[in-house]
Structure 1
């Protein structure tokens, strides 16, 4: 699972605002947060960049942790 929702809320962003900044729809953000839709690496990088521009200090691994089984 990813941490998009957690970090988005820490930054005070709505799904609508994050979607606007990322160039996608609020519905897509909702699906990404719930893991219902796969994201391209480009979208992942864009979301991390937006979070960092807004004051979070996060990396791809912070937002999209790898699960080792």
Structure 2
């Protein structure tokens, strides 16, 4: 799960502005925001960089929170 849309909206950034900054298609960004597609590390870094250029103050972990480590059940 990512927080692209949440952070983008909180910073007052339109999806179109993010699309323009990234020079990607609107569909690609929409698919990442909705979770239909999962961006690779390079794409994640580009998204965070674009959000920061557009005025958000966020890190990679803010936008793409690490999944909670699962602790094995005791036997």
TM-score w.r.t. the length of structure 2 is 0.79
- Structure 1 unmatched runs, 5+: none
Q: 1:17 to 1:54 in 2, by over 3 A?
A: closer
Asked whether the 8 Å contact 1:19–1:29 carries over to 2, the reply is yes
Note the C-alpha offset of 1:56.
2.3
- Structure 2 unmatched runs, 5+: 71-75
Q: Which residue of 1 aligns with 2:45?
A: 45
State the alpha-carbon separation in 2 of the partners of residues 63 and 47 from structure 1: 9
Note the C-alpha offset of 1:40.
2.0
Note the C-alpha offset of 1:8.
0.8
Which stretch shows the higher mean deviation, 50-59 or 32-41? 50-59
Which protein is bigger by CA-based radius of gyration? 2
TM-score w.r.t. the length of structure 1 is 0.85
For the aligned residue pairs, the C-alpha RMSD in angstroms reads 1.3
| Number of residue pairs aligned between Structure 1 and Structure 2 | 69
